Amino acid sequence: MMARKLLALILLLTPVFAWAQAHDASVGDHQLHYYDAVDFDIDPASVTYADHIAPILQESCQQCHRPGGGGPMAFMTYDEVRPWAPIIMYRTAIRDRMGAMPPFFVEKDIGIDGFKSDYSLSDRELALIQAWAQNGAPRGNPDNEPEAIAYSDDIGWTVGEPDLVLRSQDMTRPPVAPDWWGDIGIVPTGLTEDRYVKSIEVREINDIPTDRGASTVGGKYIWHHMTYSSGILADNGQEILQDSRVGWPIHEVGRNADIFSEKAGRLLQANSALHLGAAHMHSNGRETTGYLEFGITFFPIGYEPQYTRRGPRTGNGIDIDIVPNKPNQEIHNYVVLKEHTKIMAFEPHLHAPGVRMCMEAIWGHNQFTLNCVGYDHNWVKQYVYEDDKAPLLPKGTILHTIGYLDTTPANTNLADPRNWAGGGRRSVSNMFIDLGYSVSLTEEQFQAEMAERRANMKDRNDYDVGCPLCWAPETMEQNLAQGND
């Protein structure tokens, strides 16, 4: 009797996580995110297109789902939206895995919530869409529909009118040809003084008619991706000086614009040029001529960045060993931060087998998840942290990234689930990198950032997952003085 009581007590006290399943990141077993409208005090029968759904579509969908946008169909009017209601309900409920709409794959139930340009849907918005679709997708009173957003015919810049627009040379791809990969030359910036860049957005302008839908995004472009840099133009006007080289975020189909932090603008020098060093071109079924446009906005003249030293890159291209036909494969990478570090952006980069990436910080005996995001190789997304939410990690932190891969047929991005694959540049090989970026901080800068963060916290029970030392901000010197070495 005593023994049974003891056993019951032990079972009661044993933490539940001892029995919890390891995280399931497989595509086949992904649980859809369904909500009950009643839990949000919404009467499901009252949900209409006019009152509830149209505003959501304006906020999170129409930038792509409009004539000439990147989406395959327009969601501008009730008649356009109505036939898609059940599929809209399904795609939005996927939420953070491949196939999700809108394509913003940050998992909401774990880690930091604070990204720029976040157009993902809240639990409440999902509940509204689901109630509406299940109730026959009623229109409601058309007079209540929000005024239509007037988009120009132009494909538009998503982060504001640029101060400087640069253009690559024209490239032509035949309808059918092997992929082409190479250097497409120099683009002088014409700048006569050093300027710091606030945002950069790259778009492809080509002669594919925009009034016709394309069943895949691939049918709308010829640039698959391109890596490029900039620097001071050499006297011959044909190349840039090696030691002046500044790297820029990659351009890829479907990738969002890059917005740099107020504290870390990136330099574009006087007499500089872009060097479009490695473009990957792809034939799309019709002869296409096009060029890339770079829309650049600057910080004001006289601006100086606070942070100029870049933090480490994380990833592992060497030990990748992806076996066929298996879900939930994991690859790991660890980096010890040698300096105090602020992580500005997270950009998981995997190839077709990739389904998820997590970033966690290990500090002392604490191990905490900064963020987990789903991955869909059709979309390449950079997640830029809000300045007051970005992880602030002390030197000595171990930054751990985990890639999750699924090579079962449920992962429709794969060319063939039966293939083994290692690391490599081609899409049939694999990569495992965080293409986001971080900056290194001095002790003084680190303390100043933490002080700002603490000022925003309600009380000592408020906890900032990205800032393990926010409530223990002693410097190394103070610690030693107290004998806490």
Residue nearer to ligand HEC on the CB measure, 72 or 114: 72
Is residue 35 within 8 A of residue 130, CB to CB? The reply is: yes
Going residue by residue from 189 to 228, which x/- string records binding to ligand HEC, judged by CB under 6 A? ----------------------------x-----------
Task: Give whichever of 94 and 358 is closer to ligand HEC, judged by the CB atom.
Answer: 94
How far lies 394's CA from each of 38, 111, 211, 398, in Å?
44, 18, 52, 10
Is residue 63 a contact partner of residue 158, using CB atoms and an 8 Å limit? Answer: yes
- Cβ–Cβ < 8 Å for 373, 96: yes
Shortest Cβ 82–ligand HEC spacing (Å): 12
Residue 108: CB minimum distance to ligand HEC, A = 15
Establish if 374 lies at the interface with ligand HEC (CB under 6 A).
no
Taking the complex as a whole, how short is the minimal distance between the CB of residue 312 and ligand HEC, in angstroms?
Answer: 30
The token pair that represents 265 in the structure block: 């603008």
Residue 205's DSSP bridge partners are 291
Residue 485 to residue 125: CA distance in whole angstroms: 50
Instruction: Determine the 3-state secondary structure of 399 from DSSP.
Output: strand
Q: How far is the CB of 97 from ligand HEC (least distance, A)?
A: 12
Site string for ligand HEC, 107-146 (x = CB under 6 A): ------------x-x-------------------------
- Name the residue nearer to ligand HEC (CB basis): 63 or 283: 63
Taking the C-alpha atoms of 114, 116, 118 and 122 in order, what is their torsion angle to the nearest 10 degrees? 30
Least Å from the CB of residue 376 to ligand HEC: 8
How far is the C-alpha of 6 from the C-alpha of 120, rounded, in Å? 48
Within 43-62, the residues that bind ligand HEC by CB under 6 A are 60-61
Measured from the CB atom, the residue of 97 and 173 that comes closer to ligand HEC is 97
CB of 72 within 8 A of CB of 66? Answer: no
Please, are residues 256 and 381 in contact by the beta-carbon 8 Å criterion? Answer: yes
Residue number, 121 or 392, with CB nearest to ligand HEC? 121
Residue 61 CB, shortest distance to ligand HEC, in Å, is 3
b/e per residue 369-392 (b: at least 16 CB within 10 A)? bbbbbbbbbbbbbbbbbebebbbb
Count of residues touching ligand HEC (by CB under 6 A): 19
Pick the closer one to ligand HEC by CB: 134 or 271: 134
- Which residue's entry shows tokens 């614009």? 257
**Shortest spacing between CB 377 and ligand HEC, in angstroms:** 12
List 76, 96, 102, 357, residue binding ligand HEC (CB under 6 A): 102
- The reply on whether position 286 binds ligand HEC by CB under 6 A is no
Determine if 177 is a binding residue for ligand HEC (CB under 6 A): no
How many other C-beta atoms are found inside a 10 Å radius of the C-beta of residue 287? 14
Residue number, 128 or 344, with CB nearest to ligand HEC: 128
Alpha-carbon distance of 272 to 269, in angstroms, equals 5
Q: Shortest approach of ligand HEC to residue 165 CB, angstroms?
A: 22
Binding residue (CB under 6 A) for ligand HEC from 63, 271, 328, 447:
63
Would you list the DSSP string of 53-64? IHHHHHHHTTTT
Q: Give the nearer residue to ligand HEC in terms of CB position, either 253 or 405.
A: 253
CB of 101 to ligand HEC, least distance (A): 3
**What are the start-end ranges of the E strands in 263-328?**
266-268, 272-281, 288-298, 314-315, 321-322
What are residue 286's phi and psi, to 5 degrees? Answer: -140, 150
Q: Which amino acid is at 217?
A: V
In whole angstroms, the minimum distance from the beta carbon of 60 to ligand HEC comes to 4
Binding mask 64-93 toward ligand HEC (x if CB under 6 A, else -) reads xx----xxx-----------x--xx--xx-
Q: Which residues contact 40 (CB under 8 A, 6 or more apart)?
A: 123, 124, 127
The site for ligand HEC (CB under 6 A) is made up of 60-61, 63-65, 70-72, 84, 87-88, 91-92, 101-103, 119, 121, 217
